[in-house]
Amino acid sequence: MNTYGERLKYERLRLELTQAQLADAGGVGRHAQSCYERDITQPRADYLAAITLLGIDVLFIITGKRTLHIGTPPISEDIRCD
């Protein structure tokens, strides 16, 4: 997943939401949602803030890196369990 649109679609499918459901939660129309997922347009901050309430990992959508939850140690390739 190289683009924000691909990651947004991945998150939507992970939560088993339709485009219409995610669009409604984000305060946009289904056509706008489709454009976001196809990398035609970029979502605004208010949309991204709204969809976090559904459990969407917005940091992942923007950067490609998952959000670490407080208390969860970071995973590093340098750490080895021997």
Q: Could you give the dihedral angle defined by the CA atoms of residues 63, 66, 70 and 72, in that order, rounded to the nearest 10 degrees?
A: -140
Q: Would residue 18 count as lying in a domain?
A: yes
Q: Would residue 82 count as lying in a domain?
A: no
What pLDDT does residue 1 have? Answer: 67
Provide the domain limits for residue 21.
4-63
pLDDT of 5 above 60: yes
Q: Would residue 35 count as lying in a domain?
A: yes
Q: Which two tokens stand for residue 18?
A: 């339709």
In tens, the pLDDT along 55-72 reads: 999 999 999 988 765 555
**Number of domains forming the structure of the chain:** 1
CATH number at 32 reads: 1.10.260.40
Q: Would residue 43 count as lying in a domain?
A: yes
Alpha-helix residue ranges (DSSP H) falling in 1-82: 4-14, 19-26, 30-37, 45-51, 58-63
In tens, the pLDDT along 11-55 reads: 999 999 999 999 999 999 999 999 999 999 999 999 999 999 999
Q: Would residue 57 count as lying in a domain?
A: yes
How many whole angstroms separate alpha carbon 10 and alpha carbon 2?
A: 11
